[in-house]
Amino acid sequence: MKRFGIRLRRGYGGQVLLVALCLFGAGCDDDDNPSSPSSQPLVFSALLSPANEVPAVGNAESSGSGAVQVTITPTRDASGAITAATADFHVQLFGFPAGTRVQGAHIHSGGAGVNGPIRVDSGVTAGAPAALGDGTLSVNFTGRTADPAVVQAIVDNPSAWYFNVHSPLNPGGFARGQLMRVQ
């Protein structure tokens, strides 16, 4: 079994808050190899920061940070081409103002420093927001449909894609990170 992890350290009330996204994968299949097509999940992660937004966030929501793990489960045909996919998101946010509301969370196309359109949506909306009651949040959004061509593009070049979260105060996004493939 492979084990991957990302650690995010943040001072918090005299303590060090340690967040670890531990990503587990079974086997060592090359799921990008068309000679042995696989529907093994593809796992991506990103560290989220207000400083990564374009432009960088400079208001009350500039104090926090977070992480996301995106698990994409592809369906492949006999030649290995992705024909369908679903995406699950695990989002953790820390150090934001109490009461911050996430009213959007998405994967966008765009390299570092470039804003781009939403391409994979988590399903959170202004009508059904996720609230950071005490300034923290750990939430899952599951079973979201993803366009096969978009998934293939993410697999081909994860750093050309970013995940971010949006709030009423920062409708363009208040924390962002470029994707990195971990499995």
Q: Which residues contact 89 (CB under 8 A, 6 or more apart)?
A: 68, 69, 70, 105, 122, 140, 141, 142, 144, 163
Helix H, strand E, coil C: the string for 32-65 is: CCCCCCCCCCEEEEEEEEHHHCCCCCCCHHHCCE
The mean pLDDT values, 10 residues at a time, for the chain of 183 residues are 42 35 39 58 98 98 98 96 97 97 98 98 95 96 97 98 98 98 95
Which CATH code fits 2-181? 2.60.40
Extents of the domains making up the chain: 2-181
Return the pLDDT at 75: 97
Single-letter amino acid code for the residue at 19: V
